[in-house]
Structure 1
C-alpha cells in the first residue's frame, strides 16, 4: 500500500473513531442532562405536593371550609348530570325510535284552540292503509282488570295494545314469540317480575290467569314473558292484553270523534314527516268530513272546525310541555325541572369556587413572605402559578373523591326528591365519566386560576420588608360576595314563594267539606246494588251519610237552545251527594225522591255552566245531551266548588241521576274520631256485598293533598338548594371578613387604644358586609319577582305575590349575614391591641 494511501486510511479511521467517541459522549451527556431534568422536575413536583399538603395541614379550618364547599358543589353537579342524562335518554333504547311518531291533533271550537294526543280506533288502521310513508302502527290504551290470585281477587293495571306492539317497540321478549303473542283475544303477556309474582317463576308461558270479563272470570293464556320495562321509558307495563274491538268498530266513521287511546305510527326512513302530515289531513277531511257535518248539525257544534292532525316524535314526548306523556303513558316531565336543578347545581358549584378564591386571597397576607423568599431565591412567576394551581388541584382532587362518595350516599334521597330511580351504575357511563373529568378540571381551574395569578404577582421587596398591602384587591372579592348572596337570596325568595303557594293549594277552601270523608271504589255498580250497599252502611251509628257517584271523571258535550254547544264534566249522583259534600244550592232545588222523574229528565248545573251558557235564570232551561241523544231540564244550580286540582280552572259541571249510567265510587261520611271502627265496618260490608272485587279506600283530604305531589317535591328541592347556597355563601362571607380583619389589624389596635368599645369595632367591621348583602338583595328581588310571577302564572288560583315574601327573605338573609360576620368581627375586636400594633 502506498504511504500516502496508508496515511489517509489511518487518518480517516482515527477521525471516524474520534467522531464516534464524541457522539457517544454527547449521547451520554444528553441522557444525563435529561435524567437530571427529570429528577429535577420530579423533585420540584414532589416539593410542590409537600408544600401544598403542609399548607393544607397548617390551615385546617380554611382547608376544611374549601373542601366542604367544593365537595358539596361537585356532588350537586354530579347528581344533576345524572338527572339530565336520564331525562335526555328517555325512549332512546327503541331501535326504531327516530322513526316512531305519536298521532296528535289540534282543534278549534268557539274561538278556543286546544291540542291533544288522545285518538280513537280509526286513526291507526286508516292512516296506515291510505297514507304513503306510514309503514305500521300500534295503539296503546291503559286499563285495569280484576284477576283471581288463588282465593283472592286483586286489581292490576295493564295496557291494551295491537299485535304489532313488539315489532314497533324494542321491549325484550325473553320467552315466547313476539310476532304472534298478542294475536289471540285471550292471550296475555307479562313482565318477568309480574310472572314471578303470579306464578313464582319466569317459566310461565302456557300457564293460565283468570281475568274478569263482563262480570265473569275467564281464563287467559300467558303467551310471552318480557324483561321489565326500562325506567327511562314512557311506556310502562306489567301486563299486556290484545286491543279490544267490537265488530264493525273500524267501519263506523263516527269513531273518528271518539278519543281515548294513543296511536303510534312508524314512518319509512325516506319519508318526509311534513308530507305525511299533509296526506293525513287530506285523507281525514275526505273520510270524516260528511260525518263531521252531520254530527255538528245534530249537537250544535256550528262554531267548531275539523281537527288538524300532526305527528309528534316519540323522543320528544317525555319532556313535552304541550303534548305530554298521559292517557296511559307515564313519567311526563318538563324541561323546566332540568333547568331549575341545573341552575341550583351551578349556583352551588359557582359559590363554592368563589369561596376558594376569597379564602385563598384572604390567607395570602400570611403567605406573602413565603412568596417573597421564593422569588428572591430565583422562582419565577410561572413556577409560582404552577405551585398554586397544583395546590388548587390537590384540594379539588380531595373534594372530587369525597363528592363521588357523597353522591353514592345521597343518591337514594335525591331519587326521592326528584321522583326518579337513578341507578349507581349510571356513574360508569362513558359520557358521564368524561363529563365528570371535565367538571373536575373546570373546578380546579376556576378555583385556582385567579388566586395563582394574584399571589404570584406579589413583589418580593414589599413582602420581605413588610410593605405589602392588599389595596385594590378587595373589589373583586366584594363583587363575588354580592354575587353569592344574590344567588342565595334568589333561592330563598323562591323557597318562600313555593312554600306559601303549596300551603295555599293544600289549605284553600275547596267549596266542599272533605274532612272525615272516605272514598271507596267499585266499578260498574247498578243503581240497585249501590242503594242496597248504601242502606247497609247507614245502619252503623258511626256513618253519617253515603253518596254514590260515577267512577273517575266523565266529560261530554251538549247542545243549548240557541244551537251553541258546551263541554262539561258530568257526574252521575243520587239525592244525598250534595248533602254529603255540603254543597249549597244557589238556585232551584236538589234531586228528590218526591220527584220520580228526576232520574230521567232533570239535571243540576254549577254556576260556571250557567255563566258560559249566558243564563241569568237557568231554572227550566233545556239541555240536549250528545250522549244518548237525550234532553234534560235544569232544576237547580250548585255553587261552584273545586272538584279538580287548584291548578285547573273550575269547568262547567252537570249532575244527573241517569239510571243508564253505572256508579263507580262511594263517598262515605264518618263521625270524627271513629276511623278505626268505621273502616273496619265498611270493609266487612264491602266484602260481603262484593266478594269478587278488591277492596281499598282513601280519605278525601289525603287524595286532595296528593294532587300537589309535584309542588311538595319542588318545595323540598328548592329548600335544600337554598340551604346549601346560603351555607356556602356564609363561608365566603366569613373568608372576606377574615381578609378585612387582617387588612385592618393596626387600625383595630389604634381604635382600641383610643377607647373604642368592642361593639363599636364590631359594628365598623360588619357594616361594610351588611351593605354588600343589601346590594345583593336589591339585585335579587326584581329577578326573583319576575321568575316567581312567571311560575305563579301557571296556577289559576294562587297567592298574592306581595312584599311579605320579600320582607321575610330580606330579614332572614340579613340576620344570617350579620351572624356570620359578627363572629369574626368580635374576635378581631377582642384581640390584644399591643399584638395588633406589632403585627405590621
Structure 2
C-alpha cells in the first residue's frame, strides 16, 4: 500500500513540475534560513548550560541608585567572596574571577599572548571545565600554579607533556614564574567565562592592595547556593551584608539622596543565575533579539507553508475526480488522507534535506557576515536535531495535513456531479496571502527603520577627528612607552605625520578585537560623579583635534602632569557642580592629595553613542602601560603612509605583529549590533517578499487557469486587455492593501519601543510606511502581471476550447 502511495506521489510531482519545483525551492530556502536563525538562537540560549550545578550558580552584581541615575555593575571587590562565605550560611562556595587582559607567555624561545583568568583554588570544582591532564581539585594548590587550555598548551609546548614545566608570564622586569599543573579543554563558544590560562588570584600584580579594599571593584564574584535554599531568604540576608561592608558608600549615597532612607534602595547586591549572565549587563546580548530571530525563522517558514497550503488547496480541485473515483472504489477517508499527506511529506522531506545541506554550506558565510559563533557540528547535536525534526513533523502535519484532510472530506456525490469548484476565491486562500504579505511588509518596515537609526547614529558628532588617524595595538610583548618614544624620534621629521600619541585603550575596536572601558566613581562635595577614565600621552588632544576650552593641555614642561593632572570634559565639570574647575582637586579635595584639573575640553564620544555616556577624565602617567599608538597623518594617499609606518614598526620592534587600522574603520564596531540587526532583517525581508511573490505567482497562475473560459467569454463580449488585467489584478491588490493595514501599525509599535532604548534616536517618519506600501504593491502587481497579461492577450477561441 505504501509503495503504491509513493508511486502516485512521485507521478503527481512529475505531472506538476512547476508547482513541485516552487514547493521544493521555497521550502529549501525557508528551511535553510530557519535552521540558521534557530541555530543562532540555540547558541545564545545554551550559554553556560554545560555546568553541572547551574541551578545553584549565581554571579553577584551591585545596583547603585545615585543622584545621577541607576547603575548596575557586575564588578565586585576582592574581599566580597570570603565575606559572603562567612556571613551567609546558604552560600556553599564563593570565588573571585578576575578576567585579565592578554599577557606575554614565554617558554624557551617561544612568546605568545594569552588571557589569564585569576581565581580561587576551587574554580574547577565549581565550574565544569573538563581537565584533560592533571587534577582540577589540586591544579591551583600553590600561588604560582597555572592551568592551561588545550590550545595554549599545544602552542607553547607542542606535543610534549607540559606538566611540571616552568612558564614565564610578563615582560621586562615584571615577570612571574608559574608551574604548569593541568591542561583544560578549551572553553566552549557558549561560555560566559573564557580563558587561555587559569592562575591563583594571589598572583594578581596588585593583590596586596586589593585583598581588603571594599572600594575597588575589578573582579566578578560567583557563588554556589546550597540545594533547596530559598533565594528570597538569601536576598534578605544580603541587605544587612551591604550595611556591614559598605558603610562609607551608603553614607555618600544618603548625602545625595535624602529622600531615600532604606539602604537597599541606595545600594544592593543582586544574584544572577549563570544561565542568565549572557543576557545581563550593559553590553550583553538581548534575549528579546534572540526571540526575535526565532520568530523571524518561524515567519519565513510560515510563508513557505502558506504557499504550500494555498497551492495544494487550489490543485486539489484538479484531482477531485481522481478522489471521487477512489472513493467509489472503496477508499476510506483515512486512506485518502494518508496518501495525500504522504505526498506532502515527501515534498517537505526533499525541501528539508536540501535546506539542511544549504544551511551547512552557509554557516561559514553566515558567521562571517553576522558574527553568529555557530558551528557546523551544532547541526548534529541531539537536542538541536530533535528540535528541528519536531519542527519538521509539526510543519508537515499542519501545512500538509490540512489540505489532505479537506480533500479527503470532499463529498462523493458533489465530486462526481462536478460541484466542487474554486471559481470564487476562498477565505482561507485570501487569509494566507494577507498573512504572507503582512509578515513581509512588517520585516521591510523594521529593516528600513533600523537602517535609518543606524545612519542617524553614524551621523552623531563624535567630538574628535577620526579621519586619517592610524591606531596601532602595541601588544603585550612590547613596551608601549619605549615604542612610542622610538616612533616619535624616527618620524619627527616626516612631513606626512602631524602628531603621535599613546593611549591605554583604543577608540572603537581595531584588528586586535579588544575593547576596554574603565568607569570610576567619586564624590565631590555633595555631588557623586561617575566618569570614563582614559589614560593618554602628550599630544592626545592634538592628534584627535579636540580643542581646549579652559586651562591648558598636558605639557612636558610641567613635571607634575604625570602625577595628578587631569583634562576633563564639560559634562564632568557640570557633574561636579564647580563653576571654576581649573586648579580644583577631586577624589581627595585637599590640595595636593587628589586629582588636579588643568584643562576643560568639549564632550566627545569615547564609546558608542548607543551606550550610556559618562563624563570623561583624561590623565597622564609615567608608569601605566601604553597599549595603543595613534598617528595623525596628512597625505593624499594614507594607505601609502600606512605601508611606510609598517616598515618603521618592523624596524623598531624586531618584526612584532603590525595590526594597525584607521580609526574611522575601528569606530564601525560601535554600530556592530545595529549593523547585524539591519542586515539580518533586510535579508529576511528580501527572502520573505521573494517567497510571498513565489506563492503569489503560483496562485495567480492557478486562478487564471480556473478562469480561462471566463476570460475568453469576456474578450468575445468586447472586454479590452486593460480591463481584464485590471479585473484580475485588483483582487490581489486589495489583499496586499489589507496586509499593509495590519503590518504598518504593528511595525510602528515595535520599532517605537526599540528606538526608545537609544539616547540618540530618530523620529519615525510616516513616509517610510508609504514607501513600503508602494514598493510591496508594485512588487505584487509585477508578479501577477506576467500571468494576467498573458491570459488577457491570448486568442479567445483558444481559451474557450480549454473546457
TM-score, with normalisation over the residues of structure 2?
0.88
What is the aligned partner in structure 1 of residue 779 from structure 2?
816
- Report SS of the residue matched to 1:145: strand
Give unpaired runs (5+ residues) of structure 2.
506-515
Would you say 1:176 and 2:134 are equivalent positions?
A: yes
Counterpart position of 1:539: 493
**Where does residue 26 of structure 1 map in the other structure?**
none
| 1:137-536 matches, cutoff 5 A | 137-143=94-100, 144-148=102-106, 153-201=111-159, 203-212=161-170, 215-244=173-202, 255-289=213-247, 291-292=248-249, 307-320=267-280, 323=281, 332-379=284-331, 381-417=333-369, 419-459=371-411, 463-464=415-416, 468-471=420-423, 473-522=425-474, 533-536=487-490
Residues 1:602 and 1:377: Cα distance change in structure 2 (over 3 Å): closer
* In 2, Cα distance between equivalents of 1:251 and 1:271: 35
Question: SS state of the match for residue 644, structure 1?
Answer: coil
Distance 1:775 1:283, change over 3 A: closer
How do 1:20-59 and structure 2 match up within 5 A?
42=1, 45-59=2-16
In the alignment, which residue of structure 2 is the partner of 1:644? 607
* Alignment check: 8 A CA contact 2:521 2:530 kept: yes
Task: Measure, in 1, the Cα distance between the counterparts of 2:210 and 2:549.
Answer: 43
Change over 3 Å in CA distance of 1:837–1:88 after alignment to 2: same
Residues 156 and 651 of structure 1, relative CA distance in 2, 3 Å threshold:
same
Measure, in 2, the Cα distance between the counterparts of 1:783 and 1:318: 29
**1:411-810 counterparts in 2 under 5 A?**
411-417=363-369, 419-459=371-411, 463-464=415-416, 468-471=420-423, 473-522=425-474, 533-551=487-505, 552-560=516-524, 562-573=525-536, 576-587=539-550, 589-591=552-554, 603-614=566-577, 617-618=579-580, 620=582, 622-626=584-588, 630-631=593-594, 634=597, 636-657=599-620, 663-675=626-638, 678-683=641-646, 685-686=648-649, 696-810=659-773
* Cα offset, 1:729, TM superposition: 0.7
Per-residue deviation, 1:514: 0.7
Q: How far has the Cα of 1:309 moved from its partner? A: 1.6
8 Å Cα contact 2:708/2:802 also seen in 1: yes
Separation in 2, partners of 1:462, 1:99: 65
Distance 1:798 1:203, change over 3 A: same
Report the CA distance shift for 1:76/1:656 in structure 2 as closer, same or farther (over 3 A): closer
Cα displacement (A) at 1:785:
1.0
Q: Residue 509 of structure 2 corresponds to which residue in structure 1?
A: none
- Partner Cα distance (2:173, 2:655) in 1: 9
- TM-superposition CA deviations, 1:232-263 (whole Å, max 9, x none): 22211111222136899689896112111111
Equivalence for 2:66: 109
Spell out, residue by residue over 1:350-407, the C-alpha distance to the aligned partner (whole angstroms, 9 max, x if none): 1111111211222234323333434444545444334322322222232233333333
Task: Give the TM-score of the pair, scaled to structure 1.
Answer: 0.85
Compute the displacement of 1:474 (Å): 1.9
- CA deviation map 1:567-597 (0-9, x unaligned): 2123344553222212234455545567777
1:686 deviates by 5.0
Conservation of the 8 A alpha-carbon contact between 2:110 and 2:156? no
Matched residue of 2:214: which SS?
A: helix
Deviation at 1:657, TM superposition (A): 4.4
Range 795-804 or range 413-422, more displaced: 413-422
Larger radius of gyration: 1
1:121 aligns to what SS in structure 2? coil
Task: Work out whether residues 90 and 234 of structure 1, in 8 Å CA contact, stay in contact via their aligned partners in 2.
Answer: yes
Question: How far, CA to CA, are the matches of 1:187 and 1:253 in structure 2?
Answer: 19
Gaps of 5+ in 1: 1-41, 327-331
The two structures, once aligned, show a CA RMSD in angstroms of 3.4
Residues 565, 253 of structure 1: alpha-carbon distance in 2 compared, 3 angstrom cutoff: farther
Cα distance change of structure 1 residues 450 and 471 upon mapping to structure 2, 3 Å threshold: farther
Structure 2 contact 464–545 (Cα < 8 Å) conserved: yes
Query: In structure 2, what is the Cα distance between the partners aligned to 1:150 and 1:578?
Result: 42
